[in-house]
Amino acid sequence: METSTTNLKHCDLLKVSGRIDSTTSPQMDEALKAILNAKRYNLVVDMKEVTYMSSAGMRVLINAQKVCRRYNRGEVILVGVSPLIYEAMELAGFTVLFKFFDDPLLAVGYF
C-alpha cells in the first residue's frame, strides 16, 4: 500500500493505493494521524487506486472520522470508492458515516 498527502488551503488530500488490510492499515493510520496531529480536520481520502479494503481499513477510517467530527471540527470524505468496497461498507452500515464523491475536485470543493 502507498500513501501520499497533499496540504491544500481548506483540506488535506490523502491518496491511497493498493490493498488496505490488517498488515497495511497501520501505515494508513499513521498518515491520517499525522494530519490530525497537525490540527487539520478536513480530510479527503482518494481511494481510486485501492483494490481491497478489510475491516481493519474501515476501522482506521471510522476512527479518523470520529476525531474529525468531534466538536464539529471537520470530516473525512471518501473519493473514488470501488463498488465492491462501497458494498462492503454498506453491508456493515458505514455508508451513513461518510460522504462519497467520484471526483477529487468536487470533494475538495465541498470544503
* pLDDT tens for each residue of 38-87: 999 999 999 999 999 999 999 999 999 999 999 889 999 999 999 999 99
Superfamily per CATH, domain 2-110: STAS domain (3.30.750.24)
The secondary structure element, H or E, covering residue 15 is: strand 12-20
- C-alpha cell read off for 92: 456493515
Query: For 80, which DSSP code?
Result: S
| pLDDT for residue 29 | 96
Helix (H, G, I), strand (E, B) or coil at 23: coil
For residue 55, the model assigns a pLDDT of 94
Q: What is the pTM of this model?
A: 0.93
What pLDDT score does 72 carry?
A: 87
Task: Calculate what percentage of the chain has a pLDDT beyond 70.
Answer: 100
Q: Quick check: 25 and 59 in contact, CB under 8 A?
A: yes
User: How far apart, in Å, are the Cα atoms of 33 and each of 41, 61, 80, 94?
Assistant: 10, 11, 22, 20
In this predicted structure, the answer to whether residue 23 has a pLDDT above a threshold of 90 is yes
Instruction: Enumerate the domain spans of the chain.
Output: 2-110
Q: What is the pLDDT of residue 100?
A: 97
What strand order describes the sheet that includes 42-53? 2-7, 12-20, 42-53, 75-79, 99-101
